[in-house]
C-alpha cells in the first residue's frame, strides 16, 4: 500500500484555517486523518479532550519531549504545542493522508525531517481583516489578541518555505484550492 502524505497545514490564528479544514475532513477522496496535538493551553469553551487537543500539564509535556514522543514541538504565545509521533506514523502506514495543523516553527522542524511533506499556508486578505476576525471570535483578552497580532505580522514575513500559499478571501474558493493541491499531490 502507498504510504499516506504528510501535510503541514498552517496559517495565522483567526485566518479561518480551522473552518477550511472542517469542510475538507469529510471529503472521502482526500482520505485525511487529523493529527490531534498535545498542548499545555487551557481548553476554550466547546473544545474537547482528544478531539481538538490532548490537554496536558507542563510536566506531562516536558516528559513527552524527553521521551521522544513528539515529532515536533514549539512554544506559541504562552503555551507549548506538539505533534504525537505514533499516530502520524501509524496513519501514514495505513495509507491515510495525515494533516498537521501546526504553527510555523513546528512546520520548519517537520520540513527538515521530512522533505517530502506537502506544505500549505493560509493567509488572510489583509492584517486588518485578521484583526477584525480575532476580535469577533473574542475568546481572549485584549493583551492576548495584541500578542497574536504582533506575532502574525512577524510570521507573515517567514512563509516562503511553504510550497503553497492560499488566500482565504472567499471560503469556498479557499476550500477548493486546498482540495485540489492535495489531490494533485496524491496523484503524483
Ligand atoms: P490555538 O491555541 O489557537 O489552538 O493554536 C495556536 C497555534 O498553535 C496555531 O497556529 C496552531 O496551528 C498551532 N499548533 C497546534 N498544534 C500544534 C502542534 O502540535 N505543533 C505546533 N508546532 N503548533 C501547533
Atom of ligand 1 nearest to the CA of 38: 19
Within-domain flag for 1: no
Within-domain flag for 171: yes
Residue range(s) defining the domain that contains residue 50: 6-186
Domains contained in the chain, number: 1
Q: For the purposes of burial, counting CB atoms within 10 Å of the CB of 140, is it exposed (0-12), middle (13-18) or buried (19 or more)?
A: middle
Q: Which residue has cell 495509507?
A: 95
Q: According to the model, what pLDDT value does residue 155 have? A: 85
Calculate how far, in angstroms, residue 72's C-alpha sits from the geometric centre of ligand 1.
11
For 55, the grid coordinates are 490537554
Q: Which amino acid residue places its CA nearest to atom 12 of ligand 1?
A: 102
Within-domain flag for 13: yes
- In order, the DSSP letters of 18-80 are HHHHHHHTT-GGG-EEE-PEEE-SPPPTT--BTTTEEE--HHHHHHHHHTT-EEEEEEETTEE
133 lines ligand 1 (CB under 6 A): no
Within-domain flag for 44: yes
Within-domain flag for 65: yes
Within-domain flag for 81: yes
Q: According to the model, what pLDDT value does residue 138 have? A: 67
Within-domain flag for 47: yes
- Smallest Cα–Cα separation from 53: which of 72, 37, 70, 75? 37
Atom of ligand 1 nearest to the CA of 101: 12
Q: According to the model, what pLDDT value does residue 57 have? A: 98
- The pLDDT profile of the chain, 188 residues, written as one tens digit per residue, is 899 999 999 998 778 999 999 999 999 999 999 999 999 999 999 999 999 999 999 999 999 999 999 999 999 989 999 999 999 999 999 999 999 999 999 999 999 999 999 999 999 888 888 888 878 876 778 888 888 888 888 888 889 999 999 999 999 999 999 999 999 999 99
Task: Say how many CA atoms lie within 13 Å of 102 toward its Cβ.
Answer: 33
Q: According to the model, what pLDDT value does residue 115 have? A: 93
Calculate how far, in angstroms, residue 14's C-alpha sits from the geometric centre of ligand 1.
12
Query: The domain that contains 59 carries what CATH number?
Result: 3.40.50.300
Within-domain flag for 22: yes
Amino acid at each position: 500500500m502507498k504510504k499516506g502524505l504528510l501535510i503541514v497545514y498552517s496559517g495565522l490564528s483567526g485566518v479561518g484555517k480551522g473552518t477550511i479544514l472542517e469542510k475538507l475532513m469529510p471529503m472521502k477522496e482526500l482520505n485525511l486523518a487529523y493529527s490531534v496535538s498535545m498542548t499545555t493551553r487551557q481548553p476554550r469553551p466547546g473544545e474537547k479532550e482528544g478531539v481538538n487537543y490532548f490537554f496536558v500539564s507542563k510536566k506531562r509535556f516536558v516528559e513527552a519531549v524527553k521521551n521522544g514522543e513528539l515529532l515536533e514541538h514549539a512554544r506559541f504565545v504562552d503555551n507549548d504545542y506538539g505533534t504525537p509521533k505514533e499516530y502520524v506514523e501509524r496513519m501514514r502506514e495505513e495509507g491515510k493522508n495525515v494533516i498537521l495543523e501546526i504553527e510555523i516553527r513546528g512546520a520548519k522542524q517537520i520540513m527538515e525531517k521530512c522533505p517530502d511533506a506537502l506544505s500549505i499556508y493560509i493567509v488572510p486578505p489583509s492584517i486588518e481583516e485578521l484583526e477584525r476576525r480575532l476580535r469577533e471570535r473574542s475568546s481572549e483578552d485584549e493583551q492576548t489578541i495584541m500578542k497574536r497580532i504582533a506575532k502574525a505580522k512577524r510570521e507573515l514575513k517567514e512563509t516562503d518555505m511553504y510550497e503553497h500559499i492560499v488566500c482565504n478571501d472567499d471560503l469556498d474558493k479557499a476550500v477548493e484550492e486546498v482540495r485540489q493541491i492535495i489531490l494533485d499531490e496524491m496523484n503524483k
